[in-house]
Amino acid sequence: MSDTASGCADRREEDSPVRAPTILAYGPDRSQVAELRLPAGCGPAPLVLLLHGSYWQVEHDRRYLGMVAEDLVARGYAVADIRYRRIGEGGGWPTTLNDVAAATDALPGLVEQAAPGRVDLDRIVYMGHLAGGDLALWASRRHRLGSSVPGATSTRPVVTGVVALAPTCHLATVYGVGDGTVAEPHDRGAGEFLDRYAAADLATLGQVEIPTVIVHGDRDEVLPVAMSRRYAAASAAELIVAPATGLFDLVDPRAGVWPTIVDALGRAGTRRGAGGLSRLAVFLGARDGSDPAHAETAYAVGRGLADRGIELVYGGGGSGLMGRVSQGVIDGGGRVYGVIPRFMVQREWGRIGLELGVETTVVNTMHERKALMAERAQAFLALPGGLGTLEELFEVWTWQTLALHGKPVGLLNTGGFWDPLVALLRGFADVGFVEHDTIDQMVVGDQLDDVLERLASVAAVLRTR
């Protein structure tokens, strides 16, 4: 596309990210507008639809995300800072939800009209803080709403990913918390409008289908981080609990957590994964085993995940197959996230992994390790390994059968390694200790592409339950 066709002809040095934003109207009311800021340059930029919180109330300043918008524009994002009607200016139920639905539907096209060729419509991220985070999550799930719910649509919204910063993702629990300023679009407690709270409850909408990242500070004194933990566990969204971080640190580009948020935004804004999978926990041995094919397979799996844009979640070690799979991802330019207990680091079992540059969280116990890996991952895959591999595999599989999560589990059956285990499990089913359907739901295959595709298919089935 030429500069003229893209609207970038004769751009000058003073055409900077700090220039006055373009106002785009998505409805007739004066609050139904968005402020569009474009980055310097002429290439298509990913588009962030930014949703403020301001406690749903008109008396709070909704302009507090200005620094966020300017920082993101300086990093090459196009940003549409969305206004919507709040309580005190005609908002509330159902106006606020209808406004956000109208804005997120209309703005990609309005931005393209205002700045042809300047945005990449294949990379659209919803990003919000507080109530805006809740609205960002809600807007991305509108195709899962009942037909009578305001904002419902039969078509999946055109959005690549979501970043929600301390979202009020369970409205009934936050009415009047803290100093009483946190409210919701109904302007009433949960006891008065049970049907409205039920309609807006994100936890009822199943697992997320696009990269979704929640960032919550561990020093948030207004919204409990436990709320985000519950939603992430129910939805398979990625949760990042930021240490030494308060509620408004999340929207301060000078705060220490900001690089983490920018990284989350970049990951959410990239079409990635196989069938919607973007984070896979892999269980495998800390030894190579006697068959060289296992080491070769582990490295090939790492490269395969990197090629598909799937993040590796693993136990943080650097020896044996664990080191080989992480090295494969790193060599392929992919992302690795490791979790390792402190005693293993002290014994230098995790030293090699740390030296590889793996993003690693050090925890106190094996229980914490498994819980954090399960929280981060969207699916689980076991490669050849020993007792630790079996223990991790069976724990997450048991959690799935107890409906503690809805994430699929699989075996990469290289060289028939898992054949004896599969036969044993079918024997358990034959004598009535396990349901045959449970065994059948385990994905077993010897080709990575096939296993990933089937894991994604099982994930889609589990999301509907």
Q: What is the pLDDT of residues 438-451, one digit of tens each?
A: 898 899 999 998 89
CB distance 413 to 294 below 8 Å: no
Look up the pTM and report it.
0.60
User: Could you tell me which of 123, 135, 15, 42 has the C-alpha nearest to residue 79?
Assistant: 123
* Residue 359, strand partner residues: 337
d(CA 330, CA 311): 10
Position 246 scores a pLDDT of 94
**Whether residue 408 has a cis bond before it, omega within 30° of 0:** no
Residue 218, burial from CB neighbour count under 10 angstroms (0-12, 13-18, 19+): exposed
Position 56 scores a pLDDT of 62
User: Tokens representing 400?
Assistant: 């799935």
User: Tokens representing 79?
Assistant: 């940003």
Position 351 scores a pLDDT of 54
DSSP labels, 307-354: HTTPEEEE----SHHHHHHHHHHHHTT--EEEEEEHHHHHTTTTHHHH
Position 354 scores a pLDDT of 58
Helix (H) or strand (E) holding 126: strand 119-129
Q: Name the residue with tokens 């070690």.
A: 317
d(CA 307, CA 299): 12
Crossing angle for the helix pair 258-268 and 66-74, to the nearest 10 degrees? 60
User: Could you tell me which of 224, 136, 230, 151 has the C-alpha nearest to residue 182?
Assistant: 224
Which parts of the chain register pLDDT below 70?
Answer: 1-19, 54-61, 170-195, 197-200, 270-276, 348-357, 460-465
* CA dihedral over 278, 216, 258, 115, signed as positive or negative: positive
- For 183, half-sphere exposure in the C-beta direction (CA atoms, 13 angstrom radius) is 19
Position 57 scores a pLDDT of 63
